[in-house]
Amino acid sequence: MCGIVGYVGRSEAAPILLDGLRRLEYRGYDSAGVAIVDGDKVETRKCAGRIAELGKLMAERPPTGTFGISHTRWATHGKPTDQNAHPHFDATGRLALVHNGVIENYQALKDQLIRDGDRNFSSDTDTEVLAHLIGKLYDASMAVDPGSNGKTKASLPNKKGRLVEAVRTALRQVIGTYGIALVHQDIPDFIVGARRGSPLVLGVGKDENFLASDVSAIVAYTRDAVYLNDFDVVAVERDKFEISSVAGEAGNYQLSKVEFTDADIKKGDYPYYMLKEIFEQPGSVRDAMRGRLSHEECTAKLGGLNMSPAQLRDVGRVVLTGCGTALHAAMIGEYLIEQLAQIPTEVEYASEFRHRNTPMTRDTLVLAISQSGETADTLGALRESRRKGYRTLGICNNVASTIARESDGGVYMHAGPEIGVAATKSFTSQVAILTAIGLLLGRMRHLSTSEGTRIIDALEALPDQIEQVLKLSDQMKAIARKYASVNGMLFFGRQFNFPIALEAALKMKEITYLFAEGHPSAELKHGIIALVRPDLPSVFITPDDAVFSKNLNNIEQVRARKGPVIAITSGTGADRLAKIADDIVTIPAVPDYVSPILTVIPLQLLAYHLAVELGRDVDKPRNLAKSVTVE
């Protein structure tokens, strides 16, 4: 949430910063701004609204200069207004700072600054308090009499060193999370960055360097990156950088190659990233499985788990955790691991799990699932599990993300960048990987070679089957048009497809803003049936599986109350539903444990087409942002 881009080099900073912000817009889009230093003057442009608004402002009065910082905001403290847009300045207006995260003790820090005579605050943000604090500490260090305390002028740190020290001293007083970047008009070609709990990456170029919340902002300029760790402070110049810690110790770093290119984050001919990402699923599911299935041993090979066969055999309980769409994948994972490996498995909302004293056994394996690998609640749950000594694994898409780095092992999705705020391809990759984990754990227990082979065959058949399902896009568009005037939708499913009802309802809510609920089909009669009426369609996810006839009964109950029914089915389902469903969508028949990977796709498309029909901004739904780094 919130995007930061910083640049120091020989080119004009403005177009690079603006371009980077456009690529990070999915992280927040309620206001944006830049601060660029030209000579000894810091120029800022900022406003409420989308990056396009900022672009107009910058076109009217272009800021010049070869180093600067920028920000796209998802509001936490203070409304999305021009005043609250970042960058924020210190009391002298010479230091500009952008921030991603939440300074929890900002009020106490602000009160102290006010007591010390600083009343010059112009926004409601926590960020401005940090800018003032750093500015005050820097100015105080510059005011030190070079001759005092026996120090000569030469032995005192230069301006750069003093600014870094002021940042460290301020951050030691901060409670909360931050990814920050700042510039000072008195210190040419110099940016300071720091992180705790909010991601920050250093892009290393030739005679130019970058700071960004996410590599997608800078991959057009460099693919060499240093993923900063919590409590890192980085001093960035054109041709060098230095990493240290908030405590003042020298830091270690590793240079990594970004695994995707600029071309991978282009929308191409698609009108929205979400549609592009839905259509990428044959490839992303294939990539999630690539090199990970062994026909010879009839099992999955997941070396990144960093667990010996004995350790895998000793797993007595699995806890799956995540948020939103990742949590829905976890819920399918529960069915999968219990069915394939017969290991007791539970799903926990990461936000609840981290604050709860859940009874755990020593043989519990905790799996944190997160596309971004940065979600604050999931990271919190992971850290809490580690603190208590449980083995943790991460299933992440973003390489070198915090969850990936802090887990004992894990599996990367390799789904490529997911930019649409509504998660789509990451979900199917997560479910495919959870199937592989179920297979691996099962084959270490009771699962036979023939069962193992059947599961591998089912997984390997998926990309082609997804291609077939994608051909339903026009049918889903027609259904979306038919129901474009409804006020909401209900979604029902059983077993492996109950979490799909939840996921379909989430997609619908997120991008159409319609009321939507997902439930296990059988829960209808326990209360939800009171909602059924002619203008509220019920979507039943009912492939031709062992619970098909049970779903059929529930559909009859809805029909008896004049509720319209849309059915997602397979095999002979269409024939049996012909007389009772208003709309029937048929997907290929597959074993029940892989069916969610197919059933979810028409429902992603339904939400997408309905959102387009309703004129919504599909990739940037209101109030939302991708990569939720606040609690």
2 is catalytic: yes
Among candidate residues 2, 298, 323, 396, the one labeled active-site is 2
Residue 76 bridge partners (DSSP):
none
3-state secondary structure of 203: strand
> Is the Cβ–Cβ distance between 438 and 333 less than 8 Å?
yes
DSSP 102-137: -BTTHHHHHHHHHHTT-----SS-HHHHHHHHHHHH
229 contributes a contact to ligand F6R by CB under 6 A: no
Kindly tell me which of 36 and 506 has the beta carbon lying closer to ligand F6R: 506
Q: Cβ closer to ligand F6R: 202 or 628? A: 628
Q: Which residue is nearest to ligand F6R (CB)?
A: 324
Q: Pick from 488, 507, 535, 533: which is nearest to 601 by CA?
A: 507
422 binds ligand F6R (CB under 6 A): yes
Closest CB 176 distance from ligand F6R, rounded Å = 20
Shortest separation between residue 315's beta carbon and ligand F6R, angstroms: 23
Structure tokens at 87: 């960058």
Indicate whether 324 belongs to the interface with ligand F6R (CB under 6 A): yes
Looking at the DSSP bridge assignments, the partners of residue 100 are 179
- Binding segment toward ligand F6R, per CB under 6 A, in 30-38, 68-76, 210-218, 317-325: 317-325
Asked if residue 628 binds ligand F6R (CB under 6 A), the reply is: yes
- Cα–Cα distance for residue pair 383/73, rounded to 1 Å: 27
Q: Is 428 in the site for ligand F6R (CB under 6 A)?
A: no
- 37: β partners: 42, 67
d(CA 3, CA 462): 35
Stretch that binds ligand F6R, among 52-60, 108-116, 316-324, 407-415 (CB under 6 A): 316-324
Stretch that binds ligand F6R, among 6-14, 93-101, 217-225, 366-374 (CB under 6 A): 366-374
Near ligand F6R in 597-626, by CB under 6 A: none
Residue 124 to residue 139: CA distance in whole angstroms: 23
In angstroms, rounded to a whole number, what is the distance separating the alpha carbons of residues 98 and 122? 15
Residue carrying structure tokens 């960055």: 193
Catalytic residue among 46, 425, 507, 626: 626
CB of 591 to ligand F6R, least distance (A): 26
Q: Which listed residue (345, 370, 385, 407) binds ligand F6R by CB under 6 A?
A: 370
Of 290, 359, 367, nearest to 334 (Cα)? 367
Closer residue to ligand F6R, CB minimum distance, 63 or 493: 493
Task: Report, in Å, the least distance between residue 351 CB and ligand F6R.
Answer: 10
Strands 299-300 and 293-294: antiparallel
The minimum distance between CB 415 and ligand F6R, in angstroms, equals 11
Q: Applying CB under 6 A, does 326 fall inside the site for ligand F6R?
A: yes
Going by the DSSP 8-state scheme, the letter that residue 237 receives in this structure is -
User: CA 33 to CA 69: how far, in whole Å?
Assistant: 9
Nearer to ligand F6R among residue 320 and residue 423 (C-beta): 423
x/- mask, ligand F6R, residues 478-507, rule CB under 6 A, reads: ----------------------------x-
The residue (of 293 and 323) whose beta carbon lies closer to ligand F6R is: 323
Q: Strand runs (DSSP E) across 471-514, as ranges?
A: 488-493
Cα distance from N-terminal residue to C-terminal residue, the chain: 11
Residue 364, token pair as written in the block? 């519990």
The rounded distance, in Å, linking the Cα atoms of 224 and 215 is 9
In angstroms, what is the minimal distance from the CB of 584 to ligand F6R? 26
Instruction: Select 370 or 551, whichever has its Cβ closest to ligand F6R.
Output: 370
Instruction: Say if CB 509 and CB 516 are below 8 A apart.
Output: yes
Is 298 annotated as catalytic? no
Within 505-534, which residues bind ligand F6R (CB under 6 A)? 506, 510
Report the site for ligand F6R in 78-137 (rule: CB under 6 A): none
Contacts (CB under 6 A) with ligand F6R, residues 269-308? none
CB of 627 to ligand F6R, least distance (A): 6
Residue 153, exposed/middle/buried by CB under 10 A (0-12, 13-18, 19+)?
exposed
46/507 with CB nearer ligand F6R: 507
- Report the alpha-carbon distance of residue 440 to residue 417 in Å, rounded: 27
Which C-beta is closer to ligand F6R: that of 371 or that of 512?
Answer: 371
Sign, Cα dihedral of 426, 432, 437, 438 = positive
**Stretch of 52-60, 160-168, 246-254, 323-331 contacting ligand F6R, by CB under 6 A:** 323-331
Single residue of 69, 323, 343, 458 touching ligand F6R by CB under 6 A: 323
**Segment interacting with ligand F6R (CB under 6 A) among 368-376, 455-463, 518-526, 612-620:** 368-376
Answer whether 4's CB lies under 8 Å from 181's CB: yes
CB closer to ligand F6R, 193 vs 324: 324
CB-side exposure of 612: number of CA atoms within 13 Å? Answer: 17
Which CB, 51 or 618, lies closer to ligand F6R?
618
Binding status of residue 545 toward ligand F6R by CB under 6 A: no
Among 293, 319, 330, 423, contact with ligand F6R (rule: CB under 6 A): 423
Do the beta carbons of residue 191 and residue 34 sit within 8 Å?
no
627 binds ligand F6R (CB under 6 A): yes
| Residue 371 within binding range of ligand F6R, rule CB under 6 A | yes
Q: Which of the ranges 156-164, 204-212, 370-378, 602-610 carries the binding residues for ligand F6R, by CB under 6 A?
A: 370-378
Residue with tokens 């510039």: 183
Residues 299 and 439 sit within 8 Å (Cβ to Cβ): yes
Residues between 379 and 398 that touch ligand F6R (CB under 6 A) = none
Please list the residues that pair with 244 across neighbouring strands. Answer: 233, 250
Q: Characterize 276-285 residue by residue with b for buried, 16 or more Cβ atoms within 10 angstroms of its Cβ, and e for exposed.
A: bbbbbbbbbb
CB contact at 8 A, 319 and 364:
yes
The residue with tokens 């469903």 is: 581
451 SS3 class: helix
Find the shortest distance in angstroms from Cβ 520 to ligand F6R: 20
Q: Which CB sits closer to ligand F6R, 325 or 569?
A: 325
> Which chain residues interact with ligand F6R by CB under 6 A?
322-326, 370-372, 375, 378, 422-423, 506, 510, 627-628
Residues that are catalytic? 2, 626
